[in-house]
Each structure stands twice: as C-alpha cells, then as structure tokens.
Chains A and B, each alone.
Chain A
C-alpha cells in the first residue's frame, strides 16, 4: 500500500525494538541514531551502546542529519559492527563508502527509514523535491511496511532556475559569481567535517610541504579550497546537501554540487551511491565515454 502519511511514533518504536534486538544479540556494538537534543523536537545524533538505553532514540521529520559521516570517524570506526539509522539519501552515502573501501558492507547494519521529506527550519529542503529514494534501497532492513508514494514528481528541480542562470553566464561572469561566493568563506571547514565523503586522514587543505592551498581566508586560498573540494567530490557526492546546510556563510555549495552531479549524469549516465558494484566514473575508462569536451 502506498501512502504519503507517516506515523512517526510507529517508526520510532520500530527503531527502538530493532536496536534492542541488535544490541542484545551482540550483532552490533553500537547504534547510531537520533535522540533528544536541547530543542526537543529537533533531534541530534545519538549513539547507543547499551540495550537498556534504546528509549533515548527518537525519530521524526526533523531527523535531517546524514549520520553516515560518523562511520569513518576515529571514535566510531573501531566500534564495528555498527547499526545506523538511514533515510534513502543517507543510504547512498553508505554505498559510496563501501564502494571506496572505507567500510566493509558486512560491518554495517542499515536501518532504512521510509521518508517523505524532512523539515529544516520548517521548510522542505531542495534535495527532498523529486527524491527518488523515498523508500530506501540497498539497506539491511526497511523499517515498517509503509511504501511512500514517490510518483509525485515535480517537473522542475528547485535549483533549476539557478542552474539556468549559471548556464547563461559567460565564463568570466561565472568565475566572478563563484569568486563572490567563495570570498565569504571563513575556512571553518564545517563542509568538510560534515561530509561523509571527506574521509581523508590528511586533507589537502592541511598539507604543508608544499602548501598547495593557502590556509588564510583570502580570495585565492578560498577559491582554491572550494574548487578543489568540489573537484574531489565529482562523481562521488550523493547530494545529501549537509555541507550547504552547515555552512555558516551560506555559500551555494548545494548549487555547486548539484551542477557537478548533473554534469556527471549527463556525461557518464552515472548517479553515485545507487549500486554496490558501481565504479566511480572518474576512476574508470570506457571507450564509449562521452568525449564531447575534447575540442
């Protein structure tokens, strides 16, 4: 049965029951989920290691964090096997991490949540419009038997107009647009810290011999940092948009990542995070690859 209504208290109870089972049977050492935060209706990431604590887990439409970022953190990594609460979009990150050998597929138990869009500050974020993974794929278990009706596709993506604007610009104008965006960057690296795919031990921004990217906030270093991070994410980013949500300066990282994801889709017919067997297009070569860009 397909529906658009979700009873969050049912889902929450199912997460708690499942987590209790997993912890008691020692199938996992830790459950990564959502729990009460300082503002009660907005949950924060929560880590449960004891079956008696499962009632701390919450679930509602404000659970927008992509929790998969924690799997590669030094504090969480040794606690494998893990269980993790994921929405369809977050599950794509997990696929990406497995494909890039960061985690073993058998180490992670993914609790998949049906999702009809989250609320950030009361608004539906752009990533939830035209979402194709409302019913999560590639997960260990989908919670509840609800099937979300995902046929309601809105014709135009919310970022469509911005994309059109970029396409109409000349190269110089586009350069100026992004320079203006990046000039605001204060180099807090929140975008990097929250990104599940920024898992390098040593980030290129911290390389000192030689120092390719100037660390001081300034036009040149800012441009280099943001452009290099964008290039590092091409064909890997799953557009969870956590970076643009966390950016304190409101830099249009959502537009940058969406633009590049569309480029990859059009050039290589590739969407990241959809299949455990996939190979990132920029590390593979196929004679039939689109080569229109070679002029």
Chain B
C-alpha cells in the first residue's frame, strides 16, 4: 500500500493569494494512500525541507508530492532532500501550483479547485512511480576537432595541452584556414601569418594531436562520450611519409594557370602544389581535375623529378575510424560570391574585388608582394572605394544578419591602402559603423582622422565601367560608383580605380550536411545552433558536440579564439570524469510487443534506436526488434507516439503513470451522459 506525503507550499503570498493552500492540504487527506498532508509558508527553506525529511523517516513514506513552483525551480532541491532522508529521489514529484495555477488565475475559489486537481493528479502519478537510478555512460577521453582554422587550432591546442588526445580533421591540404591568408589583423595591425604559423607548427608537432589534412568527416555514429567517427582521407597522390617537401615537383609542373584557392583567385598555382609556403603539413597535393596526367594520360613530370619517389598516381581515398568522446565543430566561413551583385557588375569587372582578395594584395606574401595594384592593368589605384555591408543586412539578398567583421576590416583596408599609397583617396560607404570591442572604435577613428579615409554614410546603387581621358591624352578605364551621402542628403558619383566589396559572411559549404551527420540543429542560413544563446553559447543541442568560431555566426579572430578556448574547457569538463551520469528518463522497448516495423528508428532524432536480433535456441534469427541506446536517448518520446503496438514506453513517464494522472481528473458530466455502453474504467 502506498504511503504518500503531500506538502503544500504558500510561497509566501505567491501561491496563497489565489489558492487556499490549507484547503488543498486538507483535500489531499481524503485520497487513499495519503498518510500526511501539510502546508508550510516556504517549503524550500531549510525548516521546510526538514519537515519533509522528518516525515519521510517517521511516517515511512513511499512517495512524496510537493505542491509548489515549477519543477525547473526546485525539483532538484527536494529530490536531494528526499535522497538525504533515504528515499529514492525519483519517488518525489512536483505539482506545479504556482506557474500553472496561482500566477495565472485571479479567482481564489477556481484557483483552489484547480490546485486540488493538479495536486491530486500528481498523487495518483506518484502511486505508480518506482525507484529509478541515474544512468552512467563511460567516456572516451579523446576529442575530434573538425576544421583547422584558428578556432580549430586553438581548441585542439587547449585540449591537447590539457593532457587529452585530439584528432583534427581539415578539408583542405593545409591547416591555417582564412587567417593564414590575411595580411594584418585589427586592431593592432600585427602580421596575421606571423602570429598564426607558430600555432600551426605546434599543432603538427604536438604529441597529443593527430592531424588528418585533405580529409573529411564521412559519418558520425554514437553519442556523448562514445562517438565513432569515419574519416575519408582524400587521395593526395603523394606519399607524405616519404615526401621531403622540397618543392621541385611544384616547380617543374607544366600546368601554370590554375587560379589559386589560397590567393582567392588573385594568383595562380600549379597542378601539383603546396597551398602556401608555410603550409602544415608542408607537402604537395595533386589537383586531379587539372593535372595533365589525370586529364590527358601523359606527363608524369613530377614523378620523374621527385628524388624520394613519393608520387602515387594510383592512390585512392582511404577510410579510417576513430573513437572520440567529444566533438568541436570549427568549420568556419566563406564569403558570398560577387556575382550576387548585378548592380555592381555581377563579377564582370576585374577591378571590383572582395575583402579577402584585398587581403592577398596587401599581404607581403601575396601575389603582388604587398603592392596594392589593379588586377586589370597592374596600376596603382589612385581612388579606391570600399563598400561595407555588401550583401549583409540586406533581406533582399537573403542575408538579414550583420557579418560583424566587415566594419573593422574595411577600416583596416583603408588604413593599409593609405600606408602604401600616400596620395591615394579612399572612400568607405557604410550603413552604420559597428566597432564595439577593445580598441576597436579607436582603430576606426584612426583610419578616419590619421589615415584620411573618407567615410560616407549611404549605399552604392550602381557601379559601371567607363573609359575616360585622363587629361594627358591617355585613355583609362574607370569604375563609376554612384552612391548617396545620406548625411549630406546628396547623390555622389566617384570615378574610382578599384572597388572592394565587403561581401557577406556565410557558413562554409557543406555546413548543413555536416550538421546532419553530427545530428545537431542549424538555422536557415546553415549556421550551427547553440544550446542557449546566452548561457550555453559554445554547446550545441547534441550532448558532447561543441561549437567554435564562425560555424555558429560571423566572428572575428579574438572572438573565435575565445570561443575555441571555451569549447575546449567544456570538453575538458566532460573529460574530467570517467563516467557520465544522466537522468533515467529514456525510452524502453518491450521486445514481446515490438513487431519490428522500425518506424521508431526512422523518427528518432538522436539515432538512439538500433535493430536487435531475437534468436531461438538453435541460434537462428527469428525476428528483429528495436533496441534503445540509453546513452543516446534524450527521452523525447517520438518513438512512443509513432509506435502503433505501444511497445515503446518512457521510463519515469510510463503509460500507466500518465493514465493514472489523467484519470484522477473528474470526468466531464456531459460526456458520461452520452455513454451508451457499460464502461468499466481502470482507475
């Protein structure tokens, strides 16, 4: 027989104002199985908790109902108290008579009635409760970092320095990401490569980091603490264990005019190439799409000149599997294409470039060795126009969000331009200047005040090419930039030599597919979603999957690094325990009832359901049934609602518990009248 204790809280006036708590406590006494029913001013206070603990011991209670605020507030408090008094914590349940009742009603009579019904339903539920234990899951203390940009590098180094092993997977032939291609970094103007490359080398040399470059995550299975990762090592066509990185193959390769990804199309590379001189690993890769041997079947020049004989034309994609306990997604960003802007020539004009291309022009290691020149004729631009918010904050272009980094790098570009071309004129068209950050606004002021950038608040409506006479009898091509200065309330027309578009930031290609592989949500722009925008910014909604950098939203370098360290610290918190403990609310399958349609497997968003063979005594498979992985199941109940045979049930929220709760409510009288048969309800 159940021995239930009911404890009704006043919550000062919060509940007592609209609920007659004394009457609620009194009403509970008439329910069979209720041994004690009390009210108290503040149940969550120490004396309040003591009343419950004493009752559990003295009255040998088999279940407890506390009628008070939302379980989100104090369920844990009271379950801990129950545990301290020797009662299994899952035998205590909260009846929410504050948020669900007193706070939303004014009539005390009605409120009291409702509070009685709520509390009674939970009493009936607790009668069906049974002892539960938290689930423990072992943890593999090894992390996977997807993406080798600055965020991935920082996360990997932090985790590795914390003493844990790290697997890093990078899609391109070298780690470094976008930061390796930048010239100087705001707001201090230190050289991007100078601060990044030591970190890249550290990753390569770190005993705890295993690096897979030119590789992609093929599939992710498992759950927090126990992920199984399949990695596809794309065929490099070079044995990097033998290759010395001497670069002679690259030198001799006859294919010279392939636009370089690293140079953002401002320079060229060969078909066999090391992406940039500081690449890690500093080993070449054959681009099979452009290689003469792979396209025409003849050449093999690189094989001939290779001293250590490291060229492997017959290399195929290789698959490796790794076990990890946590995943950091740091897949970064790309910028939208210039052909998205028909008003700016849709990418037809050579002298309209994007911000990343300008970085390469300004970089000492770039194709022009740091000289800022027009791509069309190699001349120094006398007048340059920077357009911020090219695509960003523009719902018509499908991107309503702010790309965040453009205000700062455009100021930097104007500054770098002035440092290199002193007599040049730099215009910046902007919507707002967003320069929140340490030393950021000062930096923008410097661009305007010391480096003479002309900031124009307004948009550019059109750019077109025009050939004009420069006064010395020379025909020159100019870009006519038509814009508006909204502060002066007048239209402007600038004859520019070059235009730089601060094109909008969007997630790396394939972000959505990766999110689906990892099983974590993403938004309509394919940025990964964080578990809570304020309180859990680097965690995803999938346990054990963390986010760093532009995977989540546009971010600058300092933010990405801070993110990465935060994600790394979350990983290390996870790795600080041998086992993971979690609440026992998971689904179970009754194998007798399951008939193996596997609709549950299809609807499960956490991939927690697998197929189990039921064998007879001879060891033959008789049938297949669903099986739930306790570590993966999040207790969402999708399988339970799709299961026609009711073979699935949720521990802690079983059909019987819910049924008992529903049936404690008085039946609607009108409904009873229409009943024609003899109903025998299971009470």
Please name the residue on chain A nearest to B622 by beta carbon: A78
A280 within 8 A of B: yes
Chain B: minimal CB distance from A217 (Å) = 6
B455 within 8 A of A: no
Q: Are B599 and A217 in contact (CB under 8 A)?
A: no
Which of A125-133, A147-155, A195-203, A244-252 lines the interface with chain B? A195-203
A145 within 8 A of B: no
Q: Interface size on B (CB < 8 Å)? A: 29
* B602 touches which of A209, A220, A284 (Cβ 8 Å): A284
Known: A201-B595, A202-B593. A210 touches B679 (CB 8 A): no
B660: which A residues are within 8 A, CB to CB? 210
Identify which of A200, A217, A280, A285 gathers the most chain B CB atoms within 10 Å of its CB.
Answer: A200
B624 within 8 A of A: yes
Chain B: minimal CB distance from A106 (Å) = 14
Please name the residue on chain A nearest to B683 by beta carbon: A210
Please name the residue on chain B nearest to A229 by beta carbon: B644
* A101 touches which of B598, B656, B659, B678 (Cβ 8 Å): B598
A100: which B residues are within 8 A, CB to CB? 597-599
A291 within 8 A of B: no
B624: which A residues are within 8 A, CB to CB? 101
Chain B: minimal CB distance from A77 (Å) = 9
Please name the residue on chain B nearest to A231 by beta carbon: B644
The interface residues of chain B, by DSSP majority, are classed as: loop
B596: which A residues are within 8 A, CB to CB? 101-102
Chain B: minimal CB distance from A208 (Å) = 8
B377 within 8 A of A: no
Known: A101-B597, A279-B602. A220 touches B642 (CB 8 A): no
* A220 touches which of B598, B646, B656, B675 (Cβ 8 Å): B675
A200–B646 Cα distance when bound, in Å, is 10
Please name the residue on chain B nearest to A284 by beta carbon: B602
Known: A101-B597, A283-B599. A216 touches B679 (CB 8 A): yes
* A218 touches which of B593, B597, B656, B676 (Cβ 8 Å): B676
Chain B: minimal CB distance from A172 (Å) = 14
Please name the residue on chain A nearest to B594 by beta carbon: A201
Interface residues of A in 189-228 (CB under 8 A from B): 199-204, 207-212, 214, 216-221
A232 within 8 A of B: yes
A221: which B residues are within 8 A, CB to CB? 677, 679
Please name the residue on chain A nearest to B678 by beta carbon: A216
B645 within 8 A of A: yes
* B679 touches which of A199, A218, A283, A285 (Cβ 8 Å): A218
Known: A209-B656, A210-B682, A283-B602. A218 touches B595 (CB 8 A): no
Interface residues of A in 100-138 (CB under 8 A from B): 100-102
A237–B656 Cα distance when bound, in Å, is 30
Known: A100-B597, A101-B597, A202-B645. A216 touches B602 (CB 8 A): no
Q: Are A201 and B675 in contact (CB under 8 A)?
A: no
Interface residues of A in 18-49 (CB under 8 A from B): none
Known: A101-B624, A207-B646, A210-B655. A200 touches B595 (CB 8 A): yes
Chain B: minimal CB distance from A278 (Å) = 12
Known: A204-B645, A232-B644. A210 touches B656 (CB 8 A): yes
A209–B679 Cα distance when bound, in Å, is 16
Chain A: minimal CB distance from B594 (Å) = 8
B603 within 8 A of A: yes
Known: A209-B656, A211-B682, A283-B642. A219 touches B674 (CB 8 A): yes
Known: A101-B624, A200-B595, A283-B602. A218 touches B645 (CB 8 A): no
Known: A207-B646, A283-B642. A201 touches B593 (CB 8 A): yes
Chain A: minimal CB distance from B284 (Å) = 41
A102: which B residues are within 8 A, CB to CB? 595-597
A280: which B residues are within 8 A, CB to CB? 599, 602
Residues of A within 8 A of B (CB): 100-102, 183, 199-204, 207-212, 214, 216-221, 232, 279-280, 282-285
The 3 closest A-B pairs by CB, nearest first: A218-B677, A210-B659, A200-B645
A203-B645, A220-B674 known; 13 new pairs, CB 8 Å cut-off, are A183-B676, A199-B595, A200-B595, A200-B644, A201-B592, A202-B646, A209-B656, A210-B656, A218-B679, A220-B675, A221-B679, A282-B642, A283-B642
